[in-house]
Amino acid sequence: MSKIAFIGNSLQTMCNFRLGVLSTLAQMGHEVVVVAPQDCDRTVLQDANIRFIPIEIDCKGMNPLVDIALVQKFKKIYQTEQFDLIFHYTIKPVIYGGWAAARTHIPQIAVITGLGYTFLRKGWINRCAKWLYRSSLRYAKEVWFLNQDDKILFVEQNIVASFKTRVIHGEGVNTSIYQAGKTPEAPFTFLFVGRVLWDKGIGEFVRAAQVVKKQHPNVQFHILGQLGANNPACIGMEQMDEWEKGGVIKYLGETDNVIPFIENAHCIVLPSYREGLSRVLLEAASMKRPIIASNVPGCKEIVVDGENGFLCTAQDVSSLIACMMHMLSLKENERHLFGERGRERVLQLYDEQIVIQRYKEKLQELL
pLDDT by 10s per residue, the chain, length 367: 899 999 999 999 999 999 999 999 999 999 999 999 998 899 999 999 999 999 999 877 778 889 999 999 999 999 999 999 999 999 999 999 999 999 999 999 999 999 876 666 678 888 888 999 999 999 999 999 999 999 999 999 999 999 999 999 888 999 999 999 888 989 999 999 999 999 999 999 999 999 999 999 999 999 999 886 667 678 889 999 999 999 999 999 999 899 999 999 999 999 999 999 999 999 999 999 999 999 999 999 999 999 999 999 999 999 999 999 999 999 999 999 999 999 999 999 999 999 999 999 999 898 8
- HSE-CB for 109 with a 13 A CA cutoff: 22
Q: CATH: 1.10.40.60, 3.20.20.80, 3.40.50.11540, 3.40.50.2000. Which one for 3-172+351-366? A: 3.40.50.2000
**Coil, helix or strand at residue 350:** coil
Distance CA 112, CA 285 (A): 23
Contact 87, 106 (CB under 8 A): no
Q: Is the pTM of this model over 0.75?
A: yes
**Nearest Cα residue to 1 out of 101, 74, 85, 97:** 85
Delimit the domains of the chain by residue range: 3-172+351-366, 189-349
Which helix (H) or strand (E) segment holds residue 343: the answer is helix 332-349
**Residue 319 vs residues 59, 243, 280, 289: alpha-carbon distances, Å:** 33, 21, 21, 20
Within the chain, strands assigned E span 3-7, 31-36, 51-54, 85-89, 108-112, 142-145, 165-167, 189-193, 220-224, 249-251, 267-270, 291-294, 309-312
Going edge to edge, which strands form the sheet with 291-294? 249-251, 220-224, 189-193, 267-270, 291-294, 309-312
Contact 183, 263 (CB under 8 A): no
DSSP, res 185: P
**Nearest Cα residue to 268 out of 218, 200, 316:** 200
From the number of C-beta atoms within 10 Å of its C-beta (0-12, 13-18, 19+), residue 247 rates as: exposed
Q: Judge if 3-172+351-366 and 189-349 fold alike in CATH terms.
A: yes
Distance CA 249, CA 285 (A): 23
Architecture of the domain defined by 189-349: 3-Layer(aba) Sandwich (3.40)
DSSP, res 351: B
**Coil, helix or strand at residue 39:** coil
**Nearest Cα residue to 209 out of 303, 317, 284, 310:** 317
First-to-last alpha carbon distance for the chain, in angstroms, is 9
